[in-house]
Structure 1
Amino acid sequence: MPRKTSPKASTKSGLHPRNRHQGHYDFTALSSANPALRAYLVDSPAGGKTLDFANPDAVKALNGALLKLQYRVREWDIPPGYLCPPVPGRADYLHTLADLLGESHDGKIPTGRKILGLDLGTGANLIYPLIGGHEYGWSFVGSDIDQTALDNAERLLDANPDCAQRISLRLQPRSDQIFHQIIKAGEQYDFTLCNPPFHASAEAARAANQRKWQQLDKQAESRAGTLNFGGQANELHCAGGEAGFLSRMAGESADFGQQVFWFSSLVSNADSLKQLPQQLRELGATDVRVLDMAQGQKRSRLLAWTFLDKKQRRAWRKARWPAASKPA
């Protein structure tokens, strides 16, 4: 049966109602899924076990356990120093995006491999395609400017042949382009998604990381150069920071307005949205949405836009989505 969009926006935990990661982590089950996790468990002040979330290796082991237990992803790993994203938050983006697609489809979320998404900056972790394929049966093209990241993503696909049938990878040869060189003539994407680099420079990224360690009050001086979530330079900073990246993405998206139903991006800083909606409307966007998401104390937003008018959207749904609304 087609998935129905939920009338609720979130649960008490702040996560999306369909998110598999509600409540506390079950470290017993997670350790069974990934025995390497046991080495990073520590006694909790409240009793029982918890994780040293400030340890990058512990966070990576947790991700491997979550992906295996909840999404049947085998042998998940990333090279040292690469971005290790929080699985619950990435799942929330996908579920929120699924609701947006469902809203555009009479309340039925289109599922199946005919639904094609473009993951811009898929990284070595390949998180969005792995989760999105499991939850909704969607297919993905994952792009990145980093060949080492794509090599690791290819290794993950080799270890998970069922996922490999739905996911392909493309190298972006130009760091100053986002959609150009990736979207090919005649291709149609039902959505795009992206996690933009947040900082405007390496210095800003280091300063923010140092503030984070000081707030954690955990060996701040000795560990201030370490990111518990990792990240290469292109994953953490770019010219103009998040706002600059999103502005460039908006401008370039207009060149592919007839090949994508919904463009989208995660937005961490509310200030990044001050000019974007107006910029998108001036570029010809027919619908611009800002959807709030919250995970615990962290708040973020999903910015989505389309250049299709109502007639074009109806034609798109009729051509691509009805058959894809059946089980994969």
Structure 2
Amino acid sequence: MSGKRPAAQLHPRNRHQGRYDFDQLCSSHPGLKQFVKLSPRGQKTIDFANPDAVICLNQALLKHYYNVQHWSIPQGYLCPPIPGRADYIHYAADLLGSLNLGRKAVRVLDIGTGANLIYPIIGSQTYNWQFVASDIDPVSVESARAIVSSNKNLSGNIQVVQQNDKNSLFRNIIQASDQFALTLCNPPFHASKKDAEAGTQRKWKNLKSSSTKRGRNTIKPDKKALNFGGQANELWCEGGEIRFLKDMVRESASFSKQVFWFTTLVSKKDNIAPLRKLLTEVGACQVKVKQMSQGQKVSHMLTWSFMTVDEFRG
């Protein structure tokens, strides 16, 4: 694949190392063939500015690596880059090593799973985790449930639930009898629609620059590809990422004995320090930060716990 991130920057267990093998992917999902072309350097690639091509690539990746035969998302919803999403799952799995759960079922909660359901798919098929996946958007919930019901290997491992309270993340989802080893979240990081649109323009500029450097300038923005997919609740919220995550930290304290590791992605490094301070204030006894790099993008996984291992094992 032209422009694929170096393998060394992905987690060692990430199956998406190196260039995409388009011959294998097309064998698994023949529909991808129509989008594959040669770059000026003679390498097989697709037009990553074409939303249809990117969705088809994801379908091929999910079939080839995760045995997901039926996957689609509503038009205009977020289409995730699977290699980077897989990295979060693998680093989260590293966290669970200290728990020594053995054959005990690992239950995971995905906050804001989206219409694409990508984290529960990767986590259930790679580590056999049992998922509760929540979202506040009814269309996302309907789409995620359709993905589960269309794939037998997902139906026994993933439960999709609707969050009806816009001011809650864990409340209404974590029930009194629930115990989770892990929570996941990829929060909206823009503070407004204007910020999200500015981010879109930067992405288009980067894609155009990259295409020009390869000797081809064919990138043209269109409304269909705005934000590379993504609804308002997927891309921005009032107060931005820091407001969202502060709310998450405060609410997590109410479920301190039902979850061992709370985790979230943090896209803005400057948000780490105030979140660490708040975690100390709410009584977290363990706080860790892991830097993850995919290509030129650097993000951080923030993790915290209110329990010791012995308390969790109970």
Tell me the TM-score normalised to structure 2 length: 0.91
- The 5 A counterparts of 1:149-188 are 149-188=140-179
CA contact (8 A) 2:132 2:161 kept: yes
Quote the residue 1:301 is aligned against.
Answer: 300
**Is the CA contact (8 Å cut-off) linking 1:142 and 1:169 kept in structure 2?**
yes
Which residue is 2:186 aligned to? 195
Q: Could you tell me how far 1:12 is from its partner in structure 2? A: 5.0
Q: Percent identity?
A: 51
Change (3 A) 1:225 1:212: farther
Aligned residue in 1 for 2:310: 314
1:52 aligns with 2:47: yes
Letter in 2 for 1:177: S
Kept in 2: contact 1:84–1:125 (CA 8 A): yes
C-alpha displacement of 1:316: 2.0
Aligned equivalents of 2:64, 2:246: Cα separation in 1: 38
Structure 2 residue 120 is the aligned partner of structure 1 residue 129: yes
CA contact (8 A) 2:7 2:18 kept: no
C-alpha distance in structure 1 between counterparts of 2:255 and 2:186, whole Å: 19
Aligned length: 301
Q: What is the Cα deviation at residue 130 of structure 1? A: 0.9
Instruction: Give the partner amino acid of 1:182.
Output: I
Which position in structure 2 is the counterpart of 1:17?
Answer: 12
Q: Does 1:246 align with 2:242?
A: no
Q: Work out which of the residue numbers 38, 62, 69 in structure 2 matches 1:67.
A: 62
**1:285–1:307 CA contact under 8 A, matched in 2:** yes
Amino acid at match of 2:64: L
Give the whole-Å Cα distance in 1 for the aligned partners of 2:260 and 2:93: 13
Question: Match of 1:79?
Answer: 74
1:30 aligns with 2:21: no
Q: Distance in 1 between matches of 2:119 and 2:261?
A: 16
Which residue pairs with 2:271 in the alignment?
272
In 1, Cα distance between equivalents of 2:268 and 2:292: 12
Contact 2:199 2:227 in 1 (8 A): no
CA distance in structure 1 between the partners assigned to 2:92 and 2:157 by the alignment:
18
Specify the SS of the correspondent of 2:9.
coil
Contact 1:243 1:272 in 2 (8 A): yes
**Is the 2:257–2:312 Cα contact (8 Å) retained in structure 1?**
no
Aligned to 1:120: 111
> What corresponds to 1:42 in structure 2?
37
Mapped contact 1:123–1:144 kept (Cα < 8 A): yes
Q: Distance in 2 between matches of 1:27 and 1:220?
A: 21
Deviation at 1:117, TM superposition (A): 0.3
**CA deviation map 1:36-75 (0-9, x unaligned):** 2112112112213111111111111111110110010111
Structure 2 unaligned segments of length 5 or more: list them: 1-5, 209-216
Unaligned runs of 5+ in 1: 1-10, 320-328
Distance 1:209 1:41 in 2: 24
Post-superposition CA distance 1:269-289 (Å, at most 9, x none): 111212001100110000110
- What secondary structure does 2:226 align onto? coil
Matching of residues 212-231 of structure 1 within 5 Å: 212-217=203-208, 222-223=221-222, 226-227=225-226, 229-231=228-230
| Cα deviation, residue 14, structure 1 | 0.4
